[in-house]
Amino acid sequence: MVFFFTSSHGHTLYMGKDKYENEDLIKYGLDLDVWFHVESLSSAHVYLRQREGESKKLDDLDPALLNECAQLVKANSIEGSKLKQCGVVYTRWANLKKTGDMAVGQIGYHDIKKQRQILVVKDKAVVNDLNRTKTETYPDLRAVQEERMAILRAEKTAAKREQAQREKEERKAREEAAELRSYKSLFEGPVTEAAAVSNKGVAASVDQSAAEEFEDDFM
């Protein structure tokens, strides 16, 4: 079972019922997901599912949305919920690292530098608002992930095809420009000595022919 919530921004937040379901969430997350957990304490794994096209930079997350995610994960920590304030860590789902020697529900990072921290002060009003949107479902997480991966593959293929077409058109334009420059050089290039002599010869031949025709008219 997965619990779903809707933020005040209309974003989907979700978390597993227990640590065993957290394993599936870790395994079948999406590139759109941001993971939240109470720092140094046991807690639920809360995920924010961003919308397509939103910035994937953690530092660009809306502060109000970030606070809602942090409040939810704090409220779902046995120890953290009792504290007035506590730290919450978050990172993108793709940065989560799971190895075979880790306990159920335990997780690490591929790159610790891509993790962020926030200090959250208990706000029951925010948690109550989120709980009013709570639903329980049994989604096919694998199918959802596969569908997303298929979309990403299609977008990548289309991008490569468009890039190849652009490169082809640019190459053709360069070749045509080079051919035009070469063609113009035949007519607009500097007059060489040989060409000048040739031109003089043609002019002299024309003048001689004209003189002969003139003489014939009077003979």
- DSSP string of 16-37? ESSHHHHHHHHHT--TTEEEEE
Distances in Å between the Cα of 51 and the Cα atoms of 12, 54, 56, 138, 141 are: 9, 6, 10, 21, 17
pTM higher than 0.85: no
For residue 211, the model assigns a pLDDT of: 47
- Give the separation between CA 73 and CA 70, rounded to whole angstroms: 5
Instruction: Report, as ranges of residue numbers, the positions in the chain whose pLDDT lies below 50.
Output: 202-204, 206, 210-211, 214, 218-219
For residue 177, the model assigns a pLDDT of: 85
Cβ neighbours of residue 7 closer than 8 Å, sequence gap 6 or more: 13, 48, 65, 68, 69, 130
For residue 166, the model assigns a pLDDT of: 92
The model's pLDDT over 34-88, given as tens digits with 9 standing for 90+, comes to 999 999 999 999 999 999 999 999 999 999 999 999 999 999 999 999 999 999 9
For residue 188, the model assigns a pLDDT of: 66
